[in-house]
Amino acid sequence: MVDRKNNRKPDELRPLVIKVGVIKEADGSALVSLGKTTAIAAVYGPRTMFPRHMQISDRAVLKTYYNMIPFSTEERVKPGPSRRSQEISKVTRHALEPAIFLEEFPKSIIEVFIDIIEADAGTRTAGINAASVALADAGIPMRDLVAAVAGGKIENQYVLDLEGKEEDITQCDLPVAYMPRLDKITLLQMDGDMSPEDIKNIINLAIKGCKIIYEKQKEALREKWRIK
């Protein structure tokens, strides 16, 4: 059995907190904390896209911006865009686009800003979770919420929701984003070298974690909007 912090079981998520409507000036917003990793997402739009030559005639453009604030980790993060932040912004957009009815807002733009204010691994999945809830809070029509979490393998044990130094010792870091109602994976990445059987088992474990997060996402939205 892998020795994890706080006696966490291999298939157990870190303590999860989701808050909706945390930024008043945004059209929709959410905060998601998984252990010591915290992401805040703010949504603006849909609104007419400018300049006009960048508009798409039959759907909205989704723009996502991922950013780690300078003091989110022990070592100060250099301010401004980085290669990593640009890559995570792109995969976040790919994870969210299948969930949104972009065709309902032609020639428009929907912008999602994700700030990581505290980082202890799993920042891209925390950002996706927060962005999904923020989009729903903004009233943007969605096919389903997107929930995300990473899995891995440490000492021949499959583990869910890697934290801290677990990312350094896992044989594979495999983030998964998933729409439970539609049973559809919208993001699948892998850092490591694993057998097909191991990959399948880690994906199945991550999907179980996504379903737990999904219920918490819905619960937080119901609480904000007092939906029974």
Domain that holds residue 63: 5-223
Q: What CATH number is given to the structural domain containing 213?
A: 3.30.230.70
Considering the domain boundaries, does residue 144 fall inside one? yes
Query: What pLDDT was estimated at residue 169?
Result: 82
Considering the domain boundaries, does residue 228 fall inside one? no
Considering the domain boundaries, does residue 65 fall inside one? yes
User: In a structure prediction context, what are the per-residue pLDDT tens digits for the chain, which is 228 residues long?
Assistant: 667 877 899 999 999 999 999 999 999 999 999 999 999 999 999 999 999 998 999 999 999 999 988 776 656 566 667 788 899 999 999 999 999 999 999 999 999 999 999 999 999 999 999 999 999 999 999 999 999 999 999 988 999 999 888 888 888 889 999 999 999 999 999 877 889 999 999 999 999 999 999 999 999 999 987 764
Query: What pLDDT was estimated at residue 4?
Result: 83
Considering the domain boundaries, does residue 204 fall inside one? yes
Considering the domain boundaries, does residue 137 fall inside one? yes
Query: What pLDDT was estimated at residue 183?
Result: 97
Considering the domain boundaries, does residue 20 fall inside one? yes
Considering the domain boundaries, does residue 103 fall inside one? yes
Query: What pLDDT was estimated at residue 156?
Result: 87
How many domains are contained in the chain? Answer: 1
Considering the domain boundaries, does residue 191 fall inside one? yes
Name the one residue in this structure whose structure tokens are 């997107």: 146
